[in-house]
Structure 1
Amino acid sequence: MTRELTNYYIHLARSDLARYTTCMPAKNIVKLYVEGGYYHIYNRGIDKQTIFLDDDHYRVFLSSLKQLLLPPDKVKPLPHTFTVQGRTLHGITHKRKNYYGKIELLVYCLMPNHFHLLIHQPVQRAIDQFMQSLSIRYSLFFNKTHKRVGPVFQSLYKAINVTEEPYLLHLSRYIHRNPLKYTKDLKNAYSSYGEYLGLRKTEWIKPEIVLASFEPTKLPFLKHTNTYKSFVEYDNEELDQYIDSSLALEDDKLL
């Protein structure tokens, strides 16, 4: 790509992402969630510790997302019979917490010590409840597996309100490129990139919301890009550094 074209991209990224960063609240903690709003949610392990130690850890987190986001009739109910000292006891049937219709997951990426989610909230205040359910589920698994107690995550989570469609595209690119720190095989990383490329279809991931705004003929910064894949995988260090710094999260680096 020519220097002129690179400068063109940076100019457009600057105008779009500057507005994104000015909407970031103090300490990136949103206290009021807007009905119908879009939010970039992220969190990391306490003391920057690794929270996904192997494939099983990633799968458990993804399984929790699946159970929380699938339609209720597609989620197995919690067991209500228990065996204690050889005796079968019958408890009260409990329904799993479910956020189908209340939360839509647009983009995700899981990294060894942190995660990113891009979420649409059709129902006000659903994010707080959803993130609490997700964090508790994974923390219980992690602590039981490693015979530990105490918090697994640095905090509840951080959230940034995304107010315009172009930011969704920039954020999806930023999130999907996170695994480049460890691998060049983005499509097989623990992220939603495969769904965006049409390599797999996952009912509880909604790539169509972001992809609907991918219109190279209408958005200037897509003028020289004709596929989502080329938009994400185009590699230019200067451009990437600018976008990454513009999307800088609290604490600078999650690693």
Structure 2
Amino acid sequence: MEIQAIEEGCLYHIFNRGNNSEKIFFEEENYRYFLKLLKKYIVPVADIYAYCLLQNHFHFLVRIKEKKEIDFQKLKYSTVDKPIEVSASRQFSHFLNAYSQAINKKFGRTGSLFEKRFERKEITDENYLRQVILYINNNPLKHNLVEKLEDYKWSSYNAHISNSKTSLKRKEVIEIFDDIENFIWCHRNYDFLNSFFD
């Protein structure tokens, strides 16, 4: 099956769900392992702006790095003697395959974990970019998993509003909303803003 091309220097909303809308996360450790693999496979080739992991699907907002920005030292299977041709699309495929294989082995399951190859939508303007960040971070509320965004562990929202160390492009995301106060206000008033944009 052909791997979907994603272009260097572009921003994408990337998402996927479980096969037949079934779970892709079965226990808390699965979420941690998924983020560990994200750091291993995707952070070397893409800047992570936002993410949300839910029981049967996930969302990412990423900016694909240009070749000159890639840290080849972080790509464990690349060496000075044996450089590799790096493709962000291929890295996403490796990432999701590694996770699927681990879950299948751990839970004695067979077959495809994900419904299909990941989907992606290119983001071409700042208004759309702002809306996608709000949409991704607000997914736990949309699915009635929590009453406050701060209570959900598996999204980027808490990393955006804290000072803790993160691989996220926190500064860049906050600047899209001008400042942290407006970032928080927009998230708390997402339903109102969403109806306004519709």
TM-score interval, normalised by the smaller of the two chains: 0.7 to 0.9
Alpha-carbon deviation of 1:187? Answer: 2.1
SS at match of 2:138: helix
Match of 2:70 in 1: none
Select 1:193's aligned residue among 132, 153, 157.
157
Select 2:49's aligned residue among 106, 114, 132.
106
Alpha-carbon deviation of 1:161? Answer: 0.4
Alpha-carbon deviation of 1:127? Answer: 2.7
Alpha-carbon deviation of 1:141? Answer: 1.2
Instruction: Please say if residues 166 and 213 of structure 1, whose CA atoms lie closer than 8 Å, have aligned partners that are also in contact.
Output: no
1:166-245 aligned at under 5 Å gives the runs 166-180=127-141, 181=143, 182-189=145-152, 190-202=154-166, 204-215=167-178, 226-234=181-189, 236=191, 239-240=193-194
1:27-46 aligned at under 5 Å gives the runs 31-46=4-19
**Shift in alpha-carbon separation, 1:200–1:226, aligned structure 2, 3 A:** closer
- Determine the C-alpha separation between the residues in 2 that align with 1:33 and 1:113: 24
TM-score (norm 2): 0.79
Match of 1:16 in 2: none
Question: Greater CA radius of gyration, 1 or 2?
Answer: 1
**Shift in alpha-carbon separation, 1:113–1:157, aligned structure 2, 3 A:** same
Instruction: Please say if residues 40 and 117 of structure 1, whose CA atoms lie closer than 8 Å, have aligned partners that are also in contact.
Output: yes
Unaligned runs of at least 5 residues, structure 2:
68-85
SS at match of 2:176: coil
**Shift in alpha-carbon separation, 1:146–1:31, aligned structure 2, 3 A:** closer
Alpha-carbon deviation of 1:169? Answer: 1.3
- Determine the C-alpha separation between the residues in 2 that align with 1:160 and 1:235: 21
- Determine the C-alpha separation between the residues in 2 that align with 1:242 and 1:135: 36
- Determine the C-alpha separation between the residues in 1 that align with 2:5 and 2:92: 14
Select 2:97's aligned residue among 129, 136, 142.
136
**Shift in alpha-carbon separation, 1:212–1:56, aligned structure 2, 3 A:** same
- Determine the C-alpha separation between the residues in 2 that align with 1:64 and 1:140: 12
**Shift in alpha-carbon separation, 1:229–1:53, aligned structure 2, 3 A:** same
**Shift in alpha-carbon separation, 1:239–1:213, aligned structure 2, 3 A:** closer
Give the residue type in structure 2 aligned to 1:168. Answer: L
The alignment yields a C-alpha RMSD, in angstroms, of 2.4
Select 1:53's aligned residue among 3, 21, 26.
26
Instruction: Please say if residues 5 and 89 of structure 2, whose CA atoms lie closer than 8 Å, have aligned partners that are also in contact.
Output: no
1:80-99 aligned at under 5 Å gives the runs none
Alpha-carbon deviation of 1:227? Answer: 2.1
Unaligned runs of at least 5 residues, structure 1:
1-29, 70-98, 217-224, 247-255
Task: Give aligned pairs, total.
Answer: 175
TM-score (norm 1): 0.62
- Determine the C-alpha separation between the residues in 1 that align with 2:176 and 2:156: 17
Q: 1:17-56: per-residue Cα shift (whole Å, max 9, x none)?
A: xxxxxxxxxxxxx954332100000000000001112211
Alpha-carbon deviation of 1:209? Answer: 2.1
- Determine the C-alpha separation between the residues in 1 that align with 2:5 and 2:40: 26
Alpha-carbon deviation of 1:111? Answer: 0.5
Match of 2:114 in 1: 153
Q: 1:116-170: per-residue Cα shift (whole Å, max 9, x none)?
A: 0001012377331121111011101110111011110001100000011222211
- Determine the C-alpha separation between the residues in 2 that align with 1:144 and 1:32: 29
After the TM superposition, list the runs of 4 or more consecutive aligned residues in structure 1 that deviate by more than 6 angstroms. Answer: none
Alpha-carbon deviation of 1:199? Answer: 5.0
